[in-house]
């Protein structure tokens, strides 16, 4: 079982819709969770971090964490074509100082 | 402006040559990392360093070497022993204290070996 799993997509949504990106992880006691956005040919950019159960909102982005079910999600409200990118989920397993990345979900937002 | 710089952006080498990729940060971060990304794949950790003069192997260290003589700098050498060196190489850094591990990435170096 992979440590961090994401559906590779592409996830296609129309402009203005809500995009929902999901990620599951295997280490039950992981404490730190991150979402990165990566445009084609560019480096990853940190867009959200979440550490406790529940929701965390930042502008159009909401990260949701459910430790009991071992999943973390990212909601993008009012999706824009400029949101089209690959979204990487990353987790720090307990006792480690390094991030473990999923392979990413490609999001396509059509005008 | 604080940030992470990587140079060069594109690098071309002949097979059998060693090549060194530069990574510099002025964020005063203690920890630095090197990742490799292949087309359609996730990031794989090559080496990381949490403090000057100390570094650890990541998941795919074979064929690579690093040094950490200064807090600001963490160069990566891709040696001729690396069997498939063509990839996108990403450097990242993070603070050790006061945060919970957020890593910030440089712009990357795209290496092509022929």
Rounded to a whole number, what is the distance in Å from the CA of A17 to chain B's nearest CA?
Answer: 26
| C-alpha to C-alpha distance for A28 and B96, rounded to whole angstroms | 23
Written in H, E and C, the secondary structure of B29-47 is: CCEEEEEEECCCCCEEEEE
Residues in chain A where the model's pLDDT stays below 50 = none
Q: How far apart are the CA of B67 and the nearest CA of chain A, in angstroms?
A: 18
Interface residue of A27, A43, A46 to substitute, partner B, most B CBs within 10 Å: A43
CB A25 within 8 A of CB A55: no
Question: Which pLDDT value is given to residue B99?
Answer: 59
Interface touch A45/B105, C-beta < 8 Å: yes
Structure confidence at residue B108 (pLDDT): 97
Q: How far is CA A105 from CA A80, B55, B58, B104, in A?
A: 16, 31, 24, 20
SS3 B101: coil
pLDDT less than 50: residues of chain B: none
* Phi (first) and psi of residue A26, to 5 degrees: -95, -25
* Cβ–Cβ gap A98/B105 under 8 Å: no
**Nearest neighbour of B101 by CB, restricted to A42, A45, A92:** A92
Q: In this complex, do A43 and B108 lie within 8 Å of one another by their Cβ atoms?
A: yes
CA B36 to chain centre: 8
Question: Which of A32, A97, A101 is nearest residue B42 as measured by Cβ atoms?
Answer: A101
Q: Which of A51, A99, A103 sits opposite B103 (nearest CB)?
A: A99
CB-based contact A43 B103, cutoff 8 Å = no
C-alpha distances out from residue B113 to B16, B32, B59, B98, Å: 9, 25, 22, 40
Token pair 């550490």 is at which residue? A51
């Amino acid at each position: 079982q992979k440590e961090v799993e994401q559906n590779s997509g592409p996830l296609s949504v129309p402009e203005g819709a809500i995009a929902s990106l999901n990620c599951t992880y295997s280490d039950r006691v992981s404490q730190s969770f991150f979402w990165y956005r990566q445009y084609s040919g560019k480096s990853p950019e940190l867009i959200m971090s979440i550490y406790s159960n529940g929701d965390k909102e930042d502008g159009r982005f909401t990260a949701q964490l459910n430790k009991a079910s071992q999943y973390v999600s990212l909601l993008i409200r009012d999706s824009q074509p400029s949101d089209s990118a690959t979204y990487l989920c990353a987790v720090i397993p307990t006792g480690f100082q390094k991030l473990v990345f999923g392979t990413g979900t490609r999001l396509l937002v059509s005008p | 402006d604080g940030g992470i710089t990587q140079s060069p952006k594109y690098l071309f080498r002949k097979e059998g040559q060693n090549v060194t990729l530069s990574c510099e940060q002025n964020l005063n971060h203690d920890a630095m990392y090197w990742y490799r990304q292949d087309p359609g794949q996730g990031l794989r950790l090559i080496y990381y360093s949490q403090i000057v003069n100390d570094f650890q192997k990541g998941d795919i260290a074979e064929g690579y070497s690093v040094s950490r003589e200064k807090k600001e700098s963490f160069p990566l050498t891709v040696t001729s022993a690396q069997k498939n060196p063509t990839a996108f190489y990403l450097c990242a850094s993070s603070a050790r204290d006061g945060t919970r591990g957020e890593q910030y990435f440089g712009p990357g170096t795209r290496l092509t070996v022929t």
